[in-house]
Amino acid sequence: MLRLAALASLTLLLQPALRNPRDEAFAEKAPERFHVRLETTRGVIVVDVHRAWSPMGVDRFFHLVENGYYDDDAFFRVIEGAWAQFGIHGDPDIAQVWRAAVFADEPVQASNLRGRVTYAHGVAPDDRTTQLFINLRDNPALDEQGFSPIGEVVEGMRVADALYFGYGEAAGGGIRGGKQAPIFEGGNAHLRANFPKLDYIRKASVAP
């Protein structure tokens, strides 16, 4: 645990762009198609990312991964057989900066089928930030609510299915639930103290 915290701190030192969403590091377009490898506490998940599905969403995701945002990141909301949500940074200072860095909604180009990875958002329009979820089942009803997938799991769905779900909504819940404040205020220290069984992304990287 101490080693993970040290690695996360080192990432912030090496990637100062994480403290400034307007940094030029986030300005370039992402590749049209690429894989992201999520090394989790349960195993490896590989996501095939499609820029055509959500250009702004994919650009955001690509640069956050490249800058280490999702390293040591908790799956804080896992609902068995429904979805597994992640994307609040473990350092409260970083999390608060990106909480305000909203970007526009985009038309849904791909359905929320099992394995699809999608941005979470609240009730207000154009409020996507950094939080995403893996669909653990077909959730087509989310299409009509404007939840736009950015990619799909091509390796490791068994890993996604095995993520710890015992806390349900209690560890933070969804954006619309209004119960995420303790995570934004306390970060991973809060989650590890109060929800020690949660699984984490140890390292997220763009696969070669």
pLDDT value at position 12?
47
Picking from 134, 108, 120, 106, the residue whose alpha carbon sits closest to that of residue 48 is 134
CB neighbourhood size of 186 (10 A): 16
- Each residue's pLDDT tens digit, 125-158: 899 999 999 999 999 999 999 999 999 999 999 9
Q: What is the pTM of this model?
A: 0.91
Please report the domains of the chain, with CATH numbers, ordered by start residue.
2-14+31-206 (2.40.100.10)
pLDDT value at position 14?
47
pLDDT value at position 5?
52
Strand ranges across the sheet with 132-135: 73-74, 200-206, 33-40, 44-50, 149-155, 116-119, 132-135, 83-86, 77-79
pLDDT value at position 175?
81
pLDDT value at position 15?
64
Contact 207, 47 (CB under 8 A): no
Q: Which residue ranges in the chain fall short of pLDDT 50? A: 2, 7, 10-12, 14
pLDDT value at position 25?
82
Contact 51, 31 (CB under 8 A): yes
